[in-house]
Amino acid sequence: MQWFPAYVGIGSNLEQPARQVRRALTGLAALPQTRLELVSSLYRSVPFGPVVQPQYVNAVAALLTQLAAQPFYGLLRDLEIELGRPPRQRWGPRLIDLDLLVFGEQTLEEPELTVPHPGIVQRNFVLYPLRDVAPQLWIPGRGRVATLAAAVAPEGIWRLEDETTTHDA
């Protein structure tokens, strides 16, 4: 059976976001035919998009899976529901958000799934944690993670361990 590298962005800005991210990591580690290999630092970030909402906590998980992209993505959607995410709201606050960022060297454009994730090169809250786990990763059609991360400004994002207090995370 072939193993595919998969990189999943994780975010939360509701109900103790760092706790929600850690719950998601536990869920990812339990996915069938999948191994959780590496986890980035946790990052706090300002919200992206037009909706006023609390700050996010973000991370990236590096996994290996024997599943194809679509079934793997289906498991991510199921895990979101299991963790308490209501139906999707674009740009809104989220208890948990799991985004399939990169899946091997594949490029997919389907109604439910686009890989690599379409906003990956503009988002420091994705690229900085992704750089933690895979700085030399080549994102098909986009470039190397370390280069892409260096090109986005650091405003509005910081590692949680860089904070003087993390009690509200």
Active-site annotation, residues: 85, 94, 97, 99
Q: Which amino acid is present at 93?
A: P
Closest listed residue to residue 58, CA positions, set 122, 18, 11, 98: 11
β-strand partners of 7: 62, 102
CB 86 within 8 A of CB 15: no
β-strand partners of 11: 58, 97
- 150 Cβ contact partners less than 8 Å away, ≥ 6 residues apart: none
